[in-house]
Structure 1
Amino acid sequence: MSGEENKATLLELGAVEPLTKLLTHEDKTVRRNATMIFGILTSNNDVKKLLRKLDVMNSVIAQLTPEEEVVIHEFASLCLANMSVEYTGKVQILEHGGLEPLIRLLRSPDPDVKKNSIESIYNLAQDFECRAALQELNAIPPVLDLLKSEYPIIQLLALKTLGAMTNSKKSQAMLRDNQGLDQLIKILETKDLNDLHIEALSVVANCLEDMDSMVLIQRTGALQKLLAFAESSTVPDIQKNAAKAIAKAAYYSYVCATAEAEGIQPLVNTLSSKRDGAVANAATVLTNMALQEPLREAMQSHELMQALIGPLGSANTLVQSRVALAVAATACDVEARTELRNRGGLEPLVELLHSKNNEVRRHASQAVMVCANDELTATELCKLGALDILEEINLSISLKNKFSEAAYNKLLNNNLSLKYSQTGYLSSNDIISDGFYDSGRINPGTKLLPLKELCLQEPGHRRAVLLINNKSADASLSMEDKSSDMSYGRSISSSSSLRRASKEKPKKNSSRFSTGFGWPTELKSEPTSGRNTVLSKSATKEKGPKKARGKREEEKIREEEEVLAIPKLAGEGGPEKEWYPPSDPGFCTYVYEVTKSVLPMTNIKEQIEALAKL
């Protein structure tokens, strides 16, 4: 069966599908033999393609439990190593929880199980979602342990896996904290392990992006060893990786030397120079320095964000481009974005999106993308029209770039009401909160009105606006305001409450809520409660003496005018009361009951079932 022809024959005879059912057979011997068969068969591409369609991954992963025999572990992990080569196989292994048992098997006493497991993990680590999952599962310590293996293939696969994983800051820190750098340096110092030096140098080069790892490398004198590799090695890949590590170390040293020489303040001062070339060069140096977090923090103490705002309005495209890129590099922190927003730096940044220069537009889009990482700044950018400009840019093949698309999506993700109105859907990562509202689909180029403006509109033919609000009426509102809010909040989802509210005598200040969301279809012809009350009074008064009718008609008109004038007077008089969205007591009660019932459960399946019933 080990020959390719035999595998193809079994596939043609239709033997693969019935064999998959034996993976879960009650008899351990049958199960073991079936697992061994699939461990061998999955080296054939056509077999792998069929198995992906049959979705047998869950059955294979189930064979990795500690209770199973070592031979089952060996061939089940071999099957996963073969299946994890293609992207679809990676996704299936991740979705069925295959990473955790594979990491556990790295500590198996059997070398074949270790080899197959680390090979599977290496294949999975090529996907960024799998790398993130490996970080969460703390995979680095057991992978580091494999560097001590007596089998070169296991050591090599472990180094390759570390090379893929250490592309992220978190993994670099985890490797450092687990004394991984010491092990890598020992490998580089051992001539007998020269077949591992290429991969070891690659991991070291990745780790030099971490400042603490850089300090550790400098302190141990490992940089001298890297220089020796670059000078004396005759292997091109060793020279290349050694040079890469040295370049990162040299860059770090240069940046630190610049900061230590108190070069930050002169550079910040240069941003206000009248010489465009000097401003552009200063912005470039500051951008490079901002790649190091401690230096970026030091720059903020020199009021860098304020200094960048002026050059953003320069007429020189080179200055515009370099300064916009500096904003993108330095606005990584919440404090920096807050200062940029409060100092009025967002407006000139948004203006640069109109630029006809491709580089200026690209760097401005990158800066907007970075600034849109927090909700307050994203909201302000939307107010300044950034979303509309980016939408227009992305409609043009010649104008759009990857940053303009990313910036547009970032702004939408911080304004879920707008995202839903424009796209008609939300992704699983979009978590709505209080204040989310659905006013219906809007056409491209149409602005979404704020909730307050929608509330102050007259009732029309449009359907009701749906609002999510789990907050109770604010304590600062008067009792009249609260009762008005509550009756209005119910009107969004209940037509019966609307009818009841229309029969009640309104408070004077309730008219601002009664003209809020569009009414449901069956009620859109009904008048507001305030107007309805006035008309009913008029109808009653018509039964009185005719000679009093003229006077009462005048009173009716005056009363009607007073009711209609209340929204205007609220804006014309003293300080306007803070506006609050209408509360929904019924929804608040529902959320409380759901939380009370579901949260105490510890089993996710039970939580889902309970939530579905509610």
Structure 2
Amino acid sequence: FEPLCVEGKSLQTVVLLLKSTEEDVLIKACEAIHLFAEKAENKVSLLGLGALSPLCRLITHENIMVKRNALMALGIMATNDVIIQEFATLCLASLSVDFICKVQIFIREGLPPLVQLLSSPDPDVTKNSLEVIYNQVQDYHSRQAVHELGGIPPLLQLLESDFPVIQHLALKTLQIITADKDTRDTFREEQGFEKLLDDFCDLHVEALQVVVNFLTDSESLHLIHQDGGLTRLMEFFLTPNISEVQCSAVECITRVAHSEIRRVLHEHNVEKVLVEFLSVEDDRVQTATCKAVHALSFYRASMDSFRDLGIPAVLELLNSESSMVREAATLALCSLTDGSQLNVAVSEARGHKVLIQQLYGSCPGTLANTAAVLCNMAEQVVIRSSILSHGAMQALVEPLKSTNPQVLVKTLRCLTVLACEADARAEALEMLQEINQSESRRSSFSSLAMTSLLNSNLSVKYSLTDNLTFTDIIRDGFYDAGKARAGQSILTLEELSKQPVNQHRPIIAVEEDDRLKEKSESETPDDKQWKMMDDASLQNIVQEVKKSILSLSDEREQYAALALVSDTMGGAVERDKLHEFPWVLHFSELKFRLQSNVVPIGLIRRGIYCHRALLFKCLADCIGLSCTLVRGEYNRAWNEVRLFTGNPSGKELSSQPSRYIVDLMHQPGCLLAVNTLAAVRYTTI
């Protein structure tokens, strides 16, 4: 075609020609735009029609005239201050996402002009500047700088903007910078809280997030309360129906619940609102509400309200498909059941049955909370029995496999409380014994639990560990059933007493209480109740020991004198004639006469190492002397004592006590220094 002369009288047409592929057209279009943009008022029109983007592309055109005219057009357009500010802030908004760029903006003092531009009449400039500031205040130094540069008033002013995006950015920025106390003080001085309350209807979630910062500060919280702001907040909390707003509202309630003015929440019947929120079909709302219930339950009046309103609602959440909700629900129950009568309410609602199920396959937080709730409930005897009847002991095996310290601590505490019941204690011991025998499952916590549980039942401890320490005090009801074999369950004294007389070694019982009575001959083996013979002989021995030994002042003399009680078990026996000592026949006669495998220790008149050592330990504990009881092999057992010895001059005592084995068989009363040949010969064959 022959060249055409193109003329455009419409600005839209000329801007459209910038996309032409004809070089002559592009040259004339760029020139026309340059001439048109010389008038200031025309520059904004060109931007509105989208001239900027094609002109930017043309500055790299191969034709020199096209490139020159495009650059001239852009140059004249860039002389408009608002346009420069808009595109400069837009560039900075993109750059400020990067950490290194944020540092450069701060170092090169970019914040002062950006704070000033918050008051720009151009909404694009305002929005871009606000976005840069929002990105910058993620860093503490920039937060401080915005406050010092007077950024609070213009940010508050932007809450009244006609553009929602600006409102939200302003609130998000305020939420971050009001985390600092000085900024909160300035915010209050500028009546920021009042402005925030006035805009609640429009700014819901973001406004509440700013409020949360003030509710964590006790000084701000009191000032808000004094100015009536808390009452206004409460009115708002009672009405939201949007889940995001409800979450933020509940978070505010939780913050206030941690303060001493939480009574205000109770005065506004906030418990009723929270119970209603528990039924909202939103996991976030339910989770936040449970945390609020947990915090508020430490206030007695609120706890009473929850007892009447909220227990079923919280228990219902234990069945939620969300692990987050279940964890929060168990947390709420932790505080609701902590030393309160709400335990009964939870139990009556069959809550403990559901809680026991939570011990299988839950997250660590849920496991720890559940164990704590069951522990709280088990403090009451009636509830404890019901918990045990639903298989709680077996269920607690699962959390014991955890490696989480909180889970282990709370589970072991729960086990300790449940083990107040004799049957449960035996079951717990079996569980812990099995766990501690496993290389993969054993831990310091399970070992500690085993030790604690054994310390509450010295008979089982001696059977399993063959050792009672200086601090283990034998009391009425102790019995020595011999060393327990691996995997063997340890029977109670009652169970052992009901077994038919057999050829095995006797069970030696320590009981000087008047509770022991002889079995009734009229009772049949099937219906007779467990009763034992009154060990009057042991009572007499104890009384004699107290009279004869407590009057002695020297501790060494006391131990030596106490060793002479071996006379009641046959006296000294020469080592090479030990095989002639008729102790086996004696025990057979006792078992036959008593028609029981259980023999009271006071009746023994022919005893060897293990029997004498047990009597020595029993008597020493009765009169306040300190000793151990250690079981060895082949019926060996011995007592170790500690004595402070003087130096050669006899003026001072050694700083460390010396340890001795007490001879009760061959030279009763002789103290054998530990690890000497004499001590080794006494304790081994």
State TM-score, norm by structure 2.
0.34
State TM-score, norm by structure 1.
0.38
Structure number, greater radius of gyration: 2
Q: Which has the higher helix share?
A: 1
